[in-house]
Amino acid sequence: MAERTYVTEAMLSVIGRPYGEMVSFPISASDIRRWALAVYYPEEPPRLFWDEDYARTSIHGGIVAPDDFNPFAWMTAQPSGVRRRASSAADDLFEGKLGVPGPGLQFMLNGGLEVTYSGVRMRPGDVVRTASSIVGYREREGRLGLMLFTTMEAAWTNQHGDLIKTQRSTLIRY
């Protein structure tokens, strides 16, 4: 009897192909301030993220964003317009963008992140660009049944072409 799997030949065929290119709007100081307020809640975030007079005296010479800041939230400059999530959100966010059907699984979870930072910080006015690729699939039986682990890779660069970070993320679908 064939071993059960969610991974199809079509899904394997898109491994390594870039998809989902995004270009952010210019980052604003208020974007950074709100992000810092949210993630540090209920503590006050460091002044580096919201006090320009203080930040100017720091080694960064001005306000910088927290390393984990997401400049692509809500809306991007490219692709333009409001993002709408489809009913089968996982497939549309990943394999669907590569033109192949995904596994059609109902649930998806964030499995983890591996990020390497270059030392270049995101700053007000920066425009950040990224594209992703699926680098592999693996499966495992778990508490909730057969689970599909999808690893994606992305690099973020700024308007100068400077690398900000590279990241690998794991999506769990079941």
Cβ closest to another protein, residue 99 vs residue 114: 114
Q: What does DSSP assign to residue 45?
A: P
Work out how close the CB of 2 gets to another protein at its nearest, in angstroms, rounded to a whole number. Answer: 26
Token pair, residue 20, equals: 């989902």
CA distances from 29 to 35, 36, 125, 156, 168 (A): 10, 11, 8, 19, 27
Cβ closest to another protein, residue 133 vs residue 170: 170
Work out how close the CB of 150 gets to another protein at its nearest, in angstroms, rounded to a whole number. Answer: 14
Cβ closest to another protein, residue 71 vs residue 102: 71
CA-CA distance, 124 to 76, in Å (whole number)? 16
Work out how close the CB of 28 gets to another protein at its nearest, in angstroms, rounded to a whole number. Answer: 12
Q: What does DSSP assign to residue 87?
A: S
Cβ closest to another protein, residue 96 vs residue 111: 111
Work out how close the CB of 1 gets to another protein at its nearest, in angstroms, rounded to a whole number. Answer: 26
Cβ closest to another protein, residue 93 vs residue 98: 93
Asked if 104 and 95 count as a contact pair (C-beta separation under 8 A), the reply is: no
Q: Are strands 129-142 and 145-157 parallel, antiparallel or unpaired?
A: antiparallel
Footprint on this chain of another protein (rule: CB under 8 A): 34-35, 37-42, 46, 58-59, 66-68, 70, 73-74, 83, 107, 109-117, 119, 143-144, 170
CA-CA distance, 78 to 20, in Å (whole number)? 10
Token pair, residue 119, equals: 């030392």
Work out how close the CB of 65 gets to another protein at its nearest, in angstroms, rounded to a whole number. Answer: 11
